[in-house]
Amino acid sequence: MLKNIEKFVMEKLIKDSTGHDWAHIDRVRMLAIQIGKVEGADLKICELAALVHDLIDDKLFSDEETALKEVIQLLKKEGIEKKEMDHIVEIITTMSFSSGPEKGMSTLEGEVVQDADRLDALGAIGIARTFMYSGAKGQAMYDPAIPARTQQMTKEEYRQGKSTSINHFYEKLFKLKDLMNTEEGIRLAEERHTFIEQFVEQFLAEWEGKDVQ
Ligand code: NI
């Protein structure tokens, strides 16, 4: 069953160059299982939700409704029971940062998968993915004339407004540490958060030539 789902996800994301490729999915799956174990979550739900979590992302797929239908069809075909299906659908439709970071997840498994996805947005990999995403979207890595948008934004504003890689740290990534749900997630986020803070500090120092003065 897992092999078929893996294959489906791999095929869907094969052309991705925005940092949401199969390797991201595989890391989120690994993290979700690791956190889920510590937190005592249902690991089957964690793994399945992690595997399909980006298949309905509006960043990647323009028609979210059709995308969700396809995911449901796939899981049905692989024999996932209705109760598990509802749980997985609930997780993947509510976990995105753009759908409102203040909204919490309603189950432990949802909290685990959301934490796993957020951890992959932090640390060295998080930095690399941020620049990949900006590159794919034709954004600059940094532009002092474009201020970071730190106020509340609607989903459309968040997606469509002008931004840069560095602004993304202020608009989303620096906030993630305090949005982690589980104790294990919080623990794992600490080090990765510190790392990205140091990175931006160094980036800005180099940009302004302060490090060579
Ligand atoms: Ni993701």
Domain architecture of the chain: domains with CATH: 2-207 (1.10.3210.50)
**Degrees (nearest 5) of the Cα angle 15, 99, 159?**
55
Nearest to 13 by CA among 27, 23, 4, 3: 23
6 CA to centre of ligand 1 in angstroms: 15
What DSSP character marks residue 15?
T
Task: Please state the rounded mean pLDDT for residues 12-30.
Answer: 92
CA–CA separation, 18 and 132 (whole Å): 5
Helical ranges in 14-53 per DSSP H: 22-39, 43-52
20 CA to centre of ligand 1 in angstroms: 6
Task: Please state the rounded mean pLDDT for residues 149-177.
Answer: 87
Q: Which residue has the higher pLDDT, 107 or 154?
A: 107
Number of Cβ within a 10 Å radius of residue 40: 9
Tokens 């609607």 sit on residue: 154
211 CA to centre of ligand 1 in angstroms: 34
CA–CA separation, 22 and 6 (whole Å): 9
Amino acid identity, residue 115? D
160 CA to centre of ligand 1 in angstroms: 19
201 CA to centre of ligand 1 in angstroms: 26
Task: Please state the rounded mean pLDDT for residues 100-115.
Answer: 89
121 CA to centre of ligand 1 in angstroms: 8
* Element of type H or E holding 179: none
